[in-house]
Every structure is written in C-alpha cells, then in structure tokens.
A and B are shown apart, each in its own frame.
Chain A
Amino acid sequence: KAGVTQTPRYLIKTRGQQVTLSCSPISGHRSVSWYQQTPGQGLQFLFEYFSETQRNKGNFPGRFSGRQFSNSRSEMNVSTLELGDSALYLCASSLGQRSGNTIYFGEGSWLTVV
C-alpha cells in the first residue's frame, strides 16, 4: 500500500511569508505527526493529531500550526517565516491507538527560507 506522501517536496520562500505543507498518511492510519529536522537541532517533534484533534505539541512558537481533516490528511502551516525555519519537515503516520505502534515517515518537504 502507499506510504506517507508529502507535498511539496521542495520549496523556497522569502522571510515574512507563510507556507503550508501537506501530508497524506498511510491508509487506515489516524495519527499524523510532524517533525522538523535541522543540522543544528536534529529531529524535533512539532505536534501530533489524532481524529482531527491535536493530542500532543512540541516546544515551537505559535507561528507553527497544524490541522487534520476527517480523512486523516494533515497540513502544517508556518507563518511569518524566519531564516531559521529552513529545514526538512517530516510527516509521520501510525495507527495511533497505543505506544509501540510503528510510526512511518514520509520523504519530507525541504523548505528553504531566503
């Protein structure tokens, strides 16, 4: 079956703009989470959604937001982009019902802020 699909794969934005990234989870998966990967900070958890509700949130400013739709697809938005937001943004999905569920990752969206 299809894996986690993220769009767009690459994008370049200007400081101050906003960006929306999209994620389609594996069919049947109800949990979608987002991670930011940078050389300096490594992999950091942004937030997790389950059945359209945010269940968990990392330590990121309010400029980072997300949502999940009834079909489990998710979007994340970053407003007022800063140079430091340049990163690989990874979406992941799982069944979401208990710990130990395997969490599968997409290929990521590479965001460059100039």
Chain B
Amino acid sequence: GNSVTQMEGPVTLSEEAFLTINCTYTATGYPSLFWYVQYPGEGLQLLLKATKADDKGSNKGFEATYRKETTSFHLEKGSVQVSDSAVYFCALSDLGFQKLVFGTGTRLLVSP
C-alpha cells in the first residue's frame, strides 16, 4: 500500500538556521503531496502542497518540490524562527480519494 517515510526527530536548530526535513513516499500512480504542521494542543494546518511532478509548493518561507524520480518531497526553510517550533507531517493523498496517508511526523525545536 501507499506509505510515507519521514526523518526521525526531534530536529533541534538555532534561530536563523537552515531547515531540511526529509520525506519520501511509496505510491502507485501519482499522488498529491502535502506538508501539514501541528502546534502544541492544536489540529493540523496545511503548510503547502504539490499535485504533480516538479511542482514546488511554498508558504511562509517553507518550500518543497515534488520529485517523482526520487519519490521525495523534502521540506526546506532558509531561516527558521522560534515560532516554527512544531511537529511537521508529510502526507500523500490516494489518487481519486479524499484520504491522506501520513508520515510519523518530525518535531522541530528552534532555540533563540
């Protein structure tokens, strides 16, 4: 079945450092790919998405590119802030279905 693999956390960075969170997927066909963020005690917020190969999703300084050849959708940000501390989830949606398959999540801790 379809699956998503994320790098283990926590990822600990200093403010203004460069962030990469790796995400790879296994899927039949060409799923849509998403990054969601969860702040403590809250639900999931969509961060960005990409619906086809080579698409780049971006939002709030975060970026991710849909790489079909490497089945990856790595999340990057050039300069993180303390307020970016949260858990980040990579997900794919099964073709034709409104169902998300999530990775295990990566906790990001940013210190001043």
A56 to B100, CA, bound (A): 11
Q: Contacts A99-B31, A99-B94, A103-B93 given: A90-B102 contact, CB under 8 Å? A: no
Nearest CB of A to B60, in Å: 16
Q: A48 on the interface (CB 8 Å rule)? A: yes
A106 to B105, CA, bound (A): 18
Q: Which of A45, A48, A106 is the one whose CB lies under 8 Å from B101?
A: A45
Q: A43 on the interface (CB 8 Å rule)? A: yes
Q: A55 on the interface (CB 8 Å rule)? A: yes
Do residues B97 and A104 form an inter-chain contact, with CB atoms below 8 A?
A: no
Do residues A56 and B98 form an inter-chain contact, with CB atoms below 8 A?
A: yes
Q: B32 on the interface (CB 8 Å rule)? A: yes
Q: Which of A6, A103, A106 is the one whose CB lies under 8 Å from B98?
A: A103
Q: B69 on the interface (CB 8 Å rule)? A: no
Chain B residues lying within 8 Å of A92, measured Cβ to Cβ, are 44, 100
Q: A66 on the interface (CB 8 Å rule)? A: no
Q: Which of B32, B42, B93, B102 is the one whose CB lies under 8 Å from A43?
A: B102
Nearest CB of B to A16, in Å: 28
B residues adjacent to A (C-beta < 8 A): 31-32, 34, 36, 42-46, 49, 51, 89, 93-105
Closest 7 pairs (CB-CB, A-B): A100-B51, A105-B44, A43-B102, A100-B32, A107-B43, A31-B98, A105-B43
